[in-house]
Amino acid sequence: MPDQDPRLSSPSALRNRDPIADLLRHVLPDSGTVLELASGSGEHVIHFARLFPNLIWQPSDPSPEARASIEHWAKTDVMPNVLTPLDIDAAAEIWPVERADAMIAINMVHISPWPATQGLLTSAGQLLPVGGVLVLYGPYRRQGQPLVPSNVEFDASLRARNPAWGIRLLEDVESVAGQSGMALTSVTEMPANNLGVVFTRQ
Ligand SMILES: C[S@@+](CC[C@H](N)C(=O)[O-])C[C@H]1O[C@@H](n2cnc3c(N)ncnc32)[C@H](O)[C@@H]1O
């Protein structure tokens, strides 16, 4: 029997990859290594590696299925600037990387327990150089603003799947970031009521 194709595909990744790339174009460095957390299928990293060939892309995900998918997408598309995916749980105190010039995490903060976001911001503060950015993409609550109905439903469905998941208050994320030397430097409205959030290492 032929081996099953390990490549995963996410329809939302195909929809949001270009708007996210437009945001990245404004904030990523001209060269260096971009570390992606929670790479999932790997379709984002492959797309970005093609659009930004001067950057080295380091994908990661704690899920073995995701890492197999990323590796196979990278092989299929012959991407020389995509490194072998790493096993990184953002909540872990020690990550198997020493530095990164920029970091991205797409749709991770609301689909992982809060300690993963805390770990992400702590490690960003340790791994990034001064001026280095961490770019987050996903839905967020804002202080004093009601969630739009579609995100109220989405939040309920996330919490039903896992009570530790849910749409986070951006101000809470900002507060954790501040403790790690990361300042919120831009918030961009993105399609489907998502935000592109940029933190910069001070
Ligand atoms: C909704 S998927 C997003 C995948 C991809 N970034 C995208 O937007 O298509 C959430 C991803 O977060 C990863 N994840 C969950 N908990 C995590 C953690 N503690 N640290 C890092 N990644 C985590 C999962 O393995 C999964 O691949």
Cα 70 to middle of ligand 1, angstroms:
13
Residue 79 pLDDT: 87
Cα 100 to middle of ligand 1, angstroms:
19
Question: What angle in degrees, to the nearest 10, is found between the helix axes of 43-51 and 64-76?
Answer: 40
Ligand 1 mutation pick, 47, 112, 123, max ligand atoms within 8 A of CB: 112
d(CA 50, CA 87): 23
SS3 state at 48 = helix
Give the sheet arrangement for strand 55-58, strand by strand: 55-58, 32-37, 102-106, 133-138, 194-201, 182-190
d(CA 50, CA 48): 5
Residue 3 pLDDT: 65
Ligand 1 mutation pick, 44, 108, 121, max ligand atoms within 8 A of CB: 108
CATH topology of domain 11-201: Rossmann fold (3.40.50)
Cα 52 to middle of ligand 1, angstroms:
22
Residue 16 CB–ligand 1 contact under 6 Å: no
Q: Are strands 133-138 and 102-106 parallel, antiparallel or unpaired?
A: parallel
Element of type H or E holding 198? strand 194-201
| Inter-residue contact 73 to 43 (CB < 8 Å) | yes
Q: Could you tell me the residue ranges of all domains in the chain?
A: 11-201
Residue 112 CB–ligand 1 contact under 6 Å: yes
> Which atom of ligand 1 lies closest to the CA of 112?
16
Biggest alpha carbon–alpha carbon distance for the chain: 57
Residue 1 pLDDT: 47
Cα 126 to middle of ligand 1, angstroms:
21
Return the closest-CA partner of residue 116 out of 145, 99, 138, 142.
Answer: 138
Q: Give the pLDDT means over successive 10-residue stretches in the chain (202 positions).
A: 81 96 98 98 97 98 98 90 98 97 98 98 98 98 97 98 98 98 98 98 98
**Residue nearest to ligand 1 atom 24, measured at CA:** 38
Hey, what are 86's tokens?
């790493």
Residue 143 pLDDT: 97
Collect all residues with Cβ–Cβ distance below 8 Å to 170 and sequence separation of at least 6.
140, 141, 142, 143, 184, 187, 195, 197
